[in-house]
A and B are shown apart, each in its own frame.
Chain A
């Protein structure tokens, strides 16, 4: 995928008005349309959920968002390691920032959809369920990272410190994602391993769920590219202004 090297377009080809990779973006759009229709029409209401089982359809959208928050954090972690260990360049720093921004976005979405589901299923929009606590603290980690970035003026120092912060926050992230939701004493309302166990979901649910996840991943990569392009354009603009002045 052209996710890592999206800007290799040479200067002379920039006159071409066609957007790069238009085909797969259309495919992602179409794919998600099919997923949405399938989630509401092809899959039956799930036993044990309220609103005639319709509440269960939320997992097709809520769970991929939550998984993407986690994936995005891993992407940021990977680029942070690359930044500290090998390549101290602005490009890698920018990718860490974008991964954290997108992680924040999906974290907000997962929190909102989760709260809606909790309101319908468990009678209250907020239950202090371990996973609910976890996602709110993840939200805080993302926010703290963005605050740290805005506090440091020097760009190289900002890159170094924020990369270090990402790597330190791995420790709470591991606790929040894997340890806390699985402590039996805390009594999570969320099921722990429905996604991979055999009895958890019916085949139709599984197909739609994983298709939805793939679609969301496509949207993620797309957003990543747009944000990267925007950041590069902004930088080029400030450079040009500096030269002009």
Chain B
């Protein structure tokens, strides 16, 4: 299969078509969105309840936030490929679009989903745990960069997982090691945004690191996805 175009579709329009198709089928059932939101809210209630009985250090609160986001994202983002395998539409999709377009479409869908999760649970978490907002714009930038890279890694792991038989427990096992370096940088960077005296360029380096990690994962995914997909 050629990488540039297949018949009438260019790479971009094929990716766009897949994105629209996924959004439409998601709105039909709202499985991914509902399960993610329910999971996040449940986790947040427990965390908020625990935090109310004593004051944990900010780093612990931040860690709780990222762990919640991690598991929320992973429980929902694995859906995109497993869904195709379960409904048996995988072969049709493979014939209709080049692998690059499939990856791009699915990645965009996951990015949207991650954005929704982050927008919902981010403010709630900050309110519930009483975290400070010394540098709101830096904080938003760090959260965005971290969530984007998290989503990139989750997407390619989801592709592997769908081929491995969609076993749920495997997702955390495979995804966690790949995301650990990212989580460490994200924790550190989020901590920095809570302190007003930290200069902007220090935080900017961290954001750059987070984005670079995501870009490396995307580059690797683009190379490997055809092998995983065309099996």
Interface positions of A (Cβ within 8 A of B)? 84, 133, 137, 140-141, 143-144, 147-148, 151-153, 157, 160-161, 163-165, 167-172, 174-176, 179-180, 185-186
Contact = CB atoms under 8 A, between A and B. Distances in A.
A176 B176 CA distance: 14
Contacts of B227: 84, 160, 163-164
14 contacts: A133-B184, A143-B177, A144-B177, A147-B174, A151-B170, A152-B164, A161-B164, A164-B160, A164-B228, A168-B157, A170-B220, A171-B178, A172-B177, A174-B216
B176 A140 contact: yes
Interface in B121-167: 156-157, 160, 163-165, 167
Contact of B224 (A152, A168, A176): A168
Interface residues of B, number: 30
Interface string B205-231: 000010001001100110110011001
Contact of B167 (A143, A151, A160, A164): A151
Given A148-B160, A148-B170, A151-B170, A169 B177 contact: yes
Nearest to B159: A164
Name the residue in B170, B209, B224 with the highest tally of chain A Cβ atoms < 10 Å from its Cβ.
B224
A187 B217 CA distance: 27
A105 B98 CA distance: 40
B56 interface: no
A144 B157 CA distance: 12
Mostly, the A contact residues are helix
B181 interface: yes
A172 B184 CA distance: 11
B67 interface: no
Interface string B13-53: 00000000000000000000000000000000000000000
A84 B174 CA distance: 20
B2 to A, nearest CB: 19
Q: Identify which of A143, A151, A164, A174 gathers the most chain B CB atoms within 10 Å of its CB.
A: A164
A171 B182 CA distance: 10
B116 interface: no
B156 to A, nearest CB: 6
A152 B165 contact: yes
Contacts of B209: 179
B107 to A, nearest CB: 14
A171 B213 contact: yes
Contacts of B228: 160-161, 164
B176 A144 contact: yes
A144 B209 CA distance: 24
A30 B163 CA distance: 48
A151 B169 CA distance: 10
A168 B181 contact: no
Contacts of B177: 137, 140-141, 143-144, 169, 172
Interface string B54-69: 0000000000000000
A30 B217 CA distance: 45
A153 B213 CA distance: 32
A165 B217 CA distance: 12
Contacts of B1: none
Given A84-B224, A168-B156, A171-B178, 7 more contacts: A133-B184, A144-B177, A148-B170, A151-B167, A151-B170, A172-B179, A180-B184
Contacts of B156: 168
Interface centre among A133, A169, A171 (most CB of B within 10 A): A171
Contacts of B216: 171, 174
Contacts of A143: 173, 177
A168 B163 contact: no
B170 A171 contact: no
Contacts of A163: 227
Shortest Cβ-Cβ A-B pairs, 9 listed: A175-B181, A140-B177, A141-B177, A137-B180, A171-B216, A164-B224, A144-B177, A172-B181, A152-B164
Contacts of B164: 148, 151-152, 157, 161
Nearest to B172: A144
